[in-house]
Amino acid sequence: MAFINIVDLSFSYEGSSDMVFEHVSFRMDTDWRLGFTGRNGRGKTTFMRLLWDFGRREEDRRYEYSGTITAPVGFEYFPYEIMDQERFTLEIAEELLPGSTEPGEIWKIFREFSNLELGEDVLYRPFSTLSYGERTKALLALLFLRDDKFLLIDEPTNHLDLRAREILGEYLRKKSGFLLVSHDRRLLDACTDHTLSINKTNIEIQKGNFSSWWENKRRQDACELAENEKLKKDIGRLKMAARQSGEWADQVEATKIGRKNAEKFSTTGGIDTRAYIGEKSRRMQMRRKNLERRQERAIEEKSALLKNLEEVRDLKLFPMEYRSEQLAEFRDVSIGYGEKMVMGGVRFQICRGDRIALTGRNGCGKSSIIKLLLSCLGSRPGEGAVGFENIVHKSADVTALTYSGKIDIGSRLVISYVPQDAGFLKGKLTDYAKEKEIDPVLLNALLRKMDFSRTQLEKSMEDFSEGQKKKVLLAASLATQAHLYIWDEPLNYIDVFSRMQIEDLILKYKPTLMFVEHDREFVERISTKTLNCDEFSHFIDS
């Protein structure tokens, strides 16, 4: 048993007054399979980069922090940066694992590839020609073959389809010694045995997968909320009792004052009545002070509660009611890029209230259906898809998009679109809202409900985390009134709390929605229909 020890760690980025970590201490066993969870922008990627940086040579380190990190192992970080992607994967394997491509050793790579259902031919192709899923699997296989390395895995599931995520979960369950950042609840449950969570005020580790951590958190939050309500009532009762005791003590004390009272309460029968009243007043004052001390203790206990309660406030959506039942229909549509056909026989209808999940393996054409629908709509005068003008029409692969068959789209249909990539976001939120003709107050209000701080709203979007950028796109879509919402992998990088928040929103407002998403939990909870795009690409293959 060996431990990675974090002691009194504090860190902030150069030029920033915001502390990412402040006096954080905990330890991790090097054999644990750790899931890493927390809201977007809390510092998950930053922490992993600090660990990775610690494992480098001292002269190569980029980050300065206070506190200490000690570890009996080195660290490796995924995604691993490939400088020259035109090289063959075999060359990259040799760079990462010298000697591993020799005839007597290469079988180890083939074994790892097989466990990830990755073909051996991947080694003999330029890395740039691999799909995102193939790149992810190949690099993870190679990195796990490195000895004495604790692997830091940052968001490996982006762009992986449902089946690929299941394969990855099965693969990671057979490994040990890694820290995995992922917001896919099924994946975390499939492969982790401990959970590291970044909370509002601390970092903590619990034994168990995400579901057990989540259940423990819900119970703890519920207990703290109940205790908080009890203490609030106790504080109110104690305040009232202390006030009443004080008033009584003051009234009794007042009876000692004045000539008439002095005559009335003269020494009688050997008893000093004034002294008696004074003693009675003293006891009442003491009772008041005791009540006040109890009140202070209750307030102190209350202040220790709810510090890590994640406030997940209800979002709002403003869908427009379309006048007819059917919004769009594809009838025997074939889709291609130039002369290359990628899908054939595409048939579906979008009707009011449908929430259609486009499913299928990577590359089967899910995004092509969305792009074609947007392009057809955007080509009609006076109509268009809100938010896609600068993303779809300036993309080279869309200008080459061709199709045959029949596509019917309802007149004056308004669409709100969320693209896969948020990398184009730059500048201030106010400028973005103005460009997209969105009410900036509403946009900010939605982002605040999605865990943006007020100071975060003032920053340039280039400084946002990937999850925060994706939240901007989602908030812009939610702030837009539309008949049909089209979301292409909307949950990439989005934290678990916000995913649940969005699920509740969709189930409450029931918008008409077509989406691509590989989070099985999300798909199963909100979709009313699924469209398996593998069937249409199979039509071309056959």
| 385 band by pLDDT with thresholds 50, 70 and 90 | very low
49-95 pLDDT, tens per residue? 999 999 887 778 888 999 999 999 999 999 998 989 999 999 999 99
Distance CA 140, CA 80 (A): 9
Contact (CB, 8 A) for 516 and 476: no
Question: What is the spatial distance between Cα 128 and Cα 116, in angstroms, rounded to a whole number?
Answer: 19
Query: In the prediction, which pLDDT does 307 show?
Result: 58
94-117: average pLDDT: 94
- How large is the average pLDDT for residues 97-119? 94
What is the DSSP-derived secondary structure letter of residue 531?
E
Band (pLDDT 50/70/90 cuts) for residue 245 is low
Record the tokens describing residue 218, joined without a space: 């819900």
Confidence of residue 224 (pLDDT cuts 50, 70, 90): confident
Burial of 436 (0-12, 13-18, 19+ CB in 10 A): middle
Structure confidence at residue 272 as a pLDDT band (50, 70, 90): low
**Quick check: helix, strand or coil at residue 189?**
helix
| H-helix or E-strand spanning residue 489 | none
- Of 415, 411, 417, 409, the closest CA to residue 329 belongs to 409
- Joined tokens for residue 341: 């056909």
Residues with Cβ < 8 Å from 282, sequence gap 6 or more? none
Give the pLDDT of residue 270.
45
| pLDDT at 135 (0 to 100) | 92
Burial of residue 233 (CB within 10 Å: 0-12, 13-18, 19+) is exposed
pLDDT for 521 equals: 92
Q: Determine the Cα angle at 193 with ends 188 and 198, to 5°.
A: 65
Of residues 304, 205, 209, 181, the one with CA closest to residue 6: 205
Predicted local confidence at residue 389, as pLDDT = 40
CB 444 within 8 A of CB 429: yes
pTM of the model: 0.75
Give the containing element (helix H, strand E) for 472.
Answer: helix 466-478
* Position 393 pLDDT exceeds 50: no
Residues in the chain: 542
Place of tokens 């580790």: 205
DSSP calls for 403-418: EEEEEEE-TT--EEEE
**What are the Cα distances from residue 188, in Å, to 34, 76, 136, 288, 370?**
9, 20, 17, 54, 29
For residue 186, pLDDT over 90 is answered with: yes
**3-199 and 326-541: identical CATH topology:** yes
User: Among residues 358, 361, 414, which one has the least CA distance to residue 385?
Assistant: 414
Query: Cβ distance 192 to 168 under 8 Å?
Result: no
Question: Over the chain, what is the mean pLDDT?
Answer: 85
Minimum mean pLDDT range among 167-176, 303-312, 437-446:
303-312
Q: Which of 130, 163, 106 is nearest to 518 (CA)?
A: 163
C-alpha to C-alpha distance for 291 and 296, rounded to whole angstroms: 9
Do residues 94 and 142 lie in contact, with contact meaning Cβ atoms separated by under 8 Å? no
Helix then strand then coil, % of the chain, to nearest 5: 45, 20, 35
The pair of three-digit structure tokens given for residue 442, joined into one six-digit string: 């509403």
Residue 494 banded pLDDT, cuts 50, 70, 90: very high
Name the residue ranges covered by the structural domains of the chain: 3-199, 219-303, 326-541
Q: Domain 326-541, what fold?
A: Rossmann fold (3.40.50)
pLDDT over 50 (residue 392): no
> pLDDT value at position 206?
94
Residue 290 confidence (pLDDT): 74
| Mean pLDDT value of segment 197-204 | 88
For 470-490, write each residue's pLDDT tens digit: 999 999 999 999 999 999 999
d(C-alpha 151, C-alpha 191), whole Å: 14
Q: What CATH fold (topology level) applies to the domain 3-199?
A: Rossmann fold (3.40.50)
For residue 74, which of 175, 154, 143, 173 has the smallest C-alpha distance?
143
- The Cα 281–Cα 246 span in angstroms is 9
Task: Quote the CA–CA distance of 203 and 217 in Å, as a whole number.
Answer: 13
Whether the predicted pLDDT of 236 surpasses 80: no
Relative to beta strand 74-78, strand 326-337 is unpaired
Indicate whether 443 pLDDT > 70: yes
